[in-house]
């Protein structure tokens, strides 16, 4: 699968498009490296335009980026739930609900006749609404439950679970999977060594 230019080259388990856009948006924060693409206005603006979440003539301010980061973490809470994590809290859902209430996405029809959500010349909220519509479509076609967040609490990288059993838990078995399995093994051995009363 050839990834679009806006997708991270680190996407080991990419989702099919257009769900890949939601995955890439969530992965704009790399917890393990401590980086956040949406923290820098210039980098964020460039990436948001490149992936079609922000029109070329639109601007983003500090409040817009703060709201986008809140939406991103709300989406992360949703995909963590897909991997048997805790249900999203009211606080997790609030930014998503605000986008749903306040946005007015525009539709466009491309030369091939496909209906697209166009962020238009307006605010970043319209681009965020596009993400919600992609999620709605993925929930309908059954691909949504496969978008998950890594179970490693030091990671939480979004990945697409292509396993037959749909029980994937880590973005990468060689790194996060082994870390968690070794951590669990050490904890079990430690418990076994403790004297019983």
Nearest of 160, 193, 190 to residue 8 by alpha carbon? 160
Q: In this predicted model, what pLDDT tens digit does every residue of 137-174 receive, in sequence order?
A: 999 999 999 999 999 888 999 999 999 998 888 888 77
- Write the pLDDT tens digit of every residue in 57-70: 888 999 999 999 99
User: Is it the case that residue 9 has pLDDT exceeding 70?
Assistant: yes
Which homologous superfamily is 19-193 in?
Jann2411-like domain (1.10.3300.10)
Q: How confident is the model at residue 194 (pLDDT cuts 50, 70, 90)?
A: confident
Q: What is the pLDDT of residue 6?
A: 87
Q: What is the mean pLDDT of residues 87-91?
A: 96
| pLDDT at 94 exceeding the cut of 70 | yes
Better-predicted residue by pLDDT, 188 or 67: 67
pLDDT at 145: 96
* C-alpha 19: how far from chain center: 9
Checking if the pLDDT of 12 tops 80, the result is no
Residue 181 clears pLDDT 90, i.e. is over it? no
pLDDT per residue as tens digits for the range 26-50? 999 999 899 999 999 999 999 999 9
Q: What's the pLDDT at 195?
A: 73
Q: What is the mean pLDDT of the chain?
A: 88
Angstrom distance (rounded) from CA 27 to CA 68: 13
For position 162, what pLDDT does the model report? 93
Phi, psi of 176, deg, nearest 5: -65, -40
Burial class (CB in 10 A: 0-12, 13-18, 19+), 128: buried
Model pLDDT, residue 111: 93
Q: What is the pTM of this model?
A: 0.85
Q: Domain ranges in the chain?
A: 19-193
Taking each helix axis from N to C end, the angle separating 41-50 and 62-82, rounded to the nearest 10 degrees, works out to 60
Helix (H, G, I), strand (E, B) or coil at 117: strand
Nearest-angstrom CA–CA distance, 117 and 133: 8
* 182 — pLDDT class (breaks 50, 70, 90): low
């Amino acid at each position: 699968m050839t990834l679009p230019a806006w997708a991270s080259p680190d996407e080991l388990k990419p989702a099919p498009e257009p769900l890949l856009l939601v995955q890439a948006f969530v992965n704009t924060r790399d917890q393990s490296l401590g980086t956040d693409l949406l923290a820098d206005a210039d980098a964020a603006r460039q990436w948001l335009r490149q992936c079609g979440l922000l029109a070329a003539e639109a601007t983003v301010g500090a409040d817009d980026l703060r709201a986008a980061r809140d939406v991103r973490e709300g989406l992360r809470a949703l995909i963590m739930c897909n991997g048997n994590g805790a249900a999203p809290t009211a606080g997790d859902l609030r930014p998503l609900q605000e986008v749903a209430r306040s946005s007015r996405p525009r539709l466009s029809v491309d030369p091939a006749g496909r209906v697209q959500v166009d962020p238009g010349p307006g605010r970043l909220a319209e681009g965020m609404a596009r993400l919600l519509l992609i999620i709605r479509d993925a929930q309908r076609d059954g691909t949504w439950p496969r978008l998950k967040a890594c179970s490693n609490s030091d990671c939480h990288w979004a990945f697409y679970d292509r396993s037959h059993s749909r029980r994937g838990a880590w973005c990468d078995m060689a790194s996060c999977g082994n870390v968690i399995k070794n951590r669990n093994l050490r904890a079990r051995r430690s418990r076994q060594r403790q004297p019983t009363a």
